Amino acid sequence: MRSNRQRTRLSPASMAKQAPRIAVIESLDQEGRGVAHVDGKVVFIEGALPFERVRFATHYSKPTYEVAATLEVLKPSSQRVTPGCSYFGTCGGCAMQHLEFSAQVAAKQRLLEADLWHIGRIKPEKMLPPIQGTPWQYRHKARLRVKYVEKKGGVLVGFNEKGTSFVTFMDSCQVLPKAISDLIVPLKELIGQLSVKQCLPQIELAVGEDATVLLLRILEALEERDLPLLAAFEAAHGVQFWTQTKGPDTAKPLFGHSDRLHYSLPEYNLQYPFSPIEFTQVNPGINRVMIRRAMQLLQPKAGERIADFFCGLGNFTLPIARSGAQVYGVEGAQALVRRAIENAGLNQITNVEFAESDLFDMTPTLLQGLGYFDKWLIDPPRDGAMELIKSLPDDGQGAPERIVYVSCNPSTLARDVAILTQSKGYRLKAAGVMNMFPHTAHVESIALFERA
């Protein structure tokens, strides 16, 4: 179903009747759109870059702002480049391929700084150098939409079109590993032969170091005639098919396999088995560098007691434990707690405990029940960690001396920064971005806090 915003967009006929207007772009917003002020309103212009002069047409209007599309770039930015993917502009998977790669990272750093100042009313004492990574073939987890459209020649497999619920017609993807990108066309051909081709809405992709899983979300059971087709595809392309008919508990491999999904952290001599439905970072290269930076900021030491909140399957917990500290991992998802315990055992780590707890419903009493921690690491989802942080004592008694906060949303990070620095007695020592999702507007960041 389309959103209200999409339903109230101006029609192409209405757009055509408008006289195109001209704007000079001031900055980028958190969706990668150019921001300008025209006739007293803020205008978000898709496809425009800072300092460019563009001709645009509005396709969505409200009393205080408009959303528009670039019709012509009259004065291009020196940082404008030719997108590396022929589907850019139609596909909604990327938002910034028209901006030079290092300039993308710089724009994300500016977005982080702007949110910290405008929401948190603070500037970090130090800006960390950004973690950039590689621009292409980085995405090892993805959710691909599937749609059978007879008028378009059969099955479509890919990301949604920008701003719509339609599936992009695409035969490749530059941000997926090449071996996976090369599978898009064969997948379309395969799905077109399956009995479930009209009730298979998406494929969950998970790439490990020794295995690749394609999890088919299906609304009806496979028929017997489908199995030889899927088995032949597995053998030809070296992948594993899983199916999921309802909730996460129904996800299972279609055939038996000896190779399991896993990723490793060689720097800490760690192996992490995982299932395709469990959360792992999409960019394994950036994940390794991110963990190294987190350890540098946290400085865990033997004898310390350290908490890892929103610990997942132990991505940060186990490297912290390698320092000799006693580590306590807390996670809200029971399945991930079980996986974290298994991973600790597999890696023969005994100085760690894991517990299930709803970190969005924390109280000072619950936090006190966990005992004193010398340091915290926090890695929350996009909603941030406000309830957890608010449960810290205002007088500092029993609070950790150091907190490392890994964020996937600069707005909620900035909100939590305000609580930590204005109410809880912490200083924002350092912050910086990590380009976990190149060519998108997604901003991942890390921040270090110390008690004043």
Question: What pLDDT, in 10s, does the model give residues 166-224?
Answer: 999 999 999 999 999 999 999 999 999 999 999 999 999 999 999 999 999 999 999 99
Q: In angstroms, rounded to a whole number, what is the distance separating the alpha carbons of residues 254 and 442?
A: 34
Class of CATH domain 4-80: mainly beta
The residues assigned a catalytic role are 408
Residue 2 burial (10 A CB sphere; 0-12, 13-18, 19+): exposed
Predicted pLDDT of residue 257: 80
85 among annotated binding-site residues: yes
**Same fold for the domain at 106-134+283-451 and the one at 141-253?**
no
Predicted pLDDT of residue 2: 34
244 among annotated binding-site residues: no
Low-confidence ranges of the chain (pLDDT < 50): 1-8, 16
> Which alpha helices (H) appear in 73-225, and where do they start and end?
101-118, 178-181, 184-191
Predicted pLDDT of residue 153: 76
310 among annotated binding-site residues: yes
Does the domain at 106-134+283-451 match CATH 3.40.120.10? Answer given as no
Predicted pLDDT of residue 1: 32
182 among annotated binding-site residues: no
| Sequence-ordered list of residues with C-beta below 8 angstroms from that of 71, at least 6 positions apart, any chain | 20, 54, 55, 56, 57
Q: In angstroms, rounded to a whole number, what is the distance separating the alpha carbons of residues 158 and 181?
A: 10
The answer to whether the CB of 106 falls within 8 A of the CB of 409 is: no
331 among annotated binding-site residues: yes
Predicted pLDDT of residue 6: 38
Predicted pLDDT of residue 344: 98
How does strand 41-46 pair with strand 53-61? unpaired
The end-to-end CA distance of the chain, in Å, is 49
199 among annotated binding-site residues: no
449 among annotated binding-site residues: no
Q: Could you state, in order of their start, the residue ranges of all structural domains in the chain? A: 4-80, 106-134+283-451, 141-253
Q: In angstroms, rounded to a whole number, what is the distance separating the alpha carbons of residues 114 and 121?
A: 9
7, containing H or E segment: helix 4-7
Predicted pLDDT of residue 256: 84
- Structural fold of domain 141-253: OB fold (Dihydrolipoamide Acetyltransferase, E2P) (2.40.50)
Q: In angstroms, rounded to a whole number, what is the distance separating the alpha carbons of residues 17 and 308?
A: 56
Q: In angstroms, rounded to a whole number, what is the distance separating the alpha carbons of residues 448 and 125?
A: 10
